Chains A and B, each alone.
Chain A
């Protein structure tokens, strides 16, 4: 991406931010990103982001976990070292299945949860030793920041954003990354 000029509009309230996002979208400006200290309900819809596909990923991870559990218990308890526990000899997976259900359940949840979190981090471009993309540390505390691309329309944007209740406006030359 070539170097580009952006404007950072800072807000102090999530409701004000929401209406500002709607207003800016209505005026057909491109919002690059919004940084918030906490998830703002409905912001993704207002920004026109695509719906998340993490649910599908999570379902697939769950299925993988279930398969791993079945294969693992079948190998451990039936094939490799069958034992007679409580008068129930382990000769058949299906007949001993009730005993394995808790493991099947737990591994399904384990795989779905952990892989989903890891996927979410990677998809959000977060990994160890990564330099924070966050342009202003105040957005981790109590401020909201909207980043809009500028294409020679500084004046127009400035007045629009002021109207929407921005408390601060900064023009920034963004480095290519």
Chain B
């Protein structure tokens, strides 16, 4: 049995406390008065200096216009006076600044939740495929999936709170005033309404958690069963196959609801796959990282180089799969150049150039070059380094999916973002490692466990 070391427990609790303080600080500093925002904007304009000032101001108002259009707030009359324009702009920026801590918390919450959900899918695939190499890692996967239920409830909770106690800080379609003036959202309101959003979310979470509950139960029961009694394994196999069908539908719908709807005018038909690739590769990376951590403490004598090698192969392969989907989505929209669609990438290229292109380097170029060589996939520090870069890259991926719609060009990875990451990292570590202590680290009853222990490449 694994015992949650005091050092790690302290680290996780410290992360949660510091993170929570930072999140509170982020919320407290995000409410600016009209005059304060005006001063900020004036300062920004003057920073550009003399001749550039006007140009910059012009550029910003253009951006705002585009962003406003994307938000569905409507253009209003073209004969609008300058004063109105100015007031509107300042109000808009004020709203964006207020959105930032909400979005920061939401991005971090979703990122850690998606790791757990990705691992749950990976775990189910191992059972459905009756994989022989991986059973020695099952307890680690089961521990990570313990975060699915709390993580998903938190994400749904933040989303709903932003539309009830908040001021529609993440999802503009939750604002009845916006919907009133927006034909496109009105047309989608059969799907995009708060009641449906909550019910769907709860159904998704219930399905995932039910599978997780029974898979874990059967896995533990199989440990205590007779050597010739594989009934629990067979049950687990059956529910895994059923879960995967449920998962691929609900994961897709979850990604429309929880992510894509932040830009309610925009849609992409492969968005579900794209989010899936992101969560899958992050999940596999976390399995590899926790495995290496436990291995370094000599707790996993049955895990050998070849298991690490296979996990690193998956990290490499799914990174490429992610790039394939990212590029497929981008290229078709770029090529067809339809205004409703291309605005998504226009805002990202205009205001998010560094994170948007940086993420492609971190999620594709780096793992491609680092993990291509077969021998490097067996060197723990190499895989750890690649894994950390992949995880940062996929955090930025989620960041790029949410932030442009909520905070526009007012983004920065500062105290609100970093403390939200720290808070959820702490919570994730706490829940996952607590779950690890609940069962032996080797699923000794699994019928493939001998094959897995002797697995070699």
Contact = CB atoms under 8 A, between A and B. Distances in A.
Interface of A: 42, 55, 59, 86-88, 98-99, 101-102
B435 to A, nearest CB: 35
12 contacts: A55-B373, A55-B374, A59-B372, A86-B335, A86-B337, A98-B330, A98-B331, A98-B335, A99-B331, A99-B335, A101-B331, A102-B331
Given A98-B331, A101-B327, 4 more contacts: A86-B335, A88-B335, A99-B335, A101-B331
A87 B330 contact: no
B456 interface: yes
B444 to A, nearest CB: 25
Contacts of A86: 335-337
Contacts of A101: 327, 331
Interface residues of B, number: 11
Interface in B304-337: 327, 330-331, 334-337
Given A42-B456, A55-B374, A59-B372, A98 B334 contact: yes
Contacts of B330: 98
A8 to B, nearest CB: 29
A59 to B, nearest CB: 7
Contacts of A99: 331, 335
Contacts of A102: 331
- 5 closest pairs, A vs B, by CB? A98-B331, A98-B334, A86-B335, A86-B337, A87-B337
B361 to A, nearest CB: 15
A42 B456 CA distance: 9
Nearest to B334: A98
Quick one: which of B330, B335, B372, B373 has the most chain A CB within 10 A?
Answer: B335
Contacts of B334: 98
A102 B372 CA distance: 21
Nearest to B331: A98
A86 B336 CA distance: 7
A42 B331 CA distance: 43
A99 B336 CA distance: 11
Contacts of B335: 86, 88, 98-99
A98 B327 CA distance: 8
Contacts of A87: 337
B270 to A, nearest CB: 16
Contacts of B337: 86-88
Interface string B441-457: 00000000000000010
Nearest to B336: A86
A87 B336 CA distance: 9
A110 B147 CA distance: 43
Interface string B121-149: 00000000000000000000000000000
A98 B456 CA distance: 41
Contacts of B372: 59
Nearest to B330: A98
Interface in B334-362: 334-337
A37 to B, nearest CB: 22
Nearest to A59: B372
Contacts of B374: 55
B129 to A, nearest CB: 19
A127 to B, nearest CB: 28
A87 B330 CA distance: 17
A76 B253 CA distance: 43
A59 B373 CA distance: 10
Contacts of A59: 372
Contacts of A55: 373-374
A55 B371 CA distance: 13
Interface string B365-378: 00000001110000
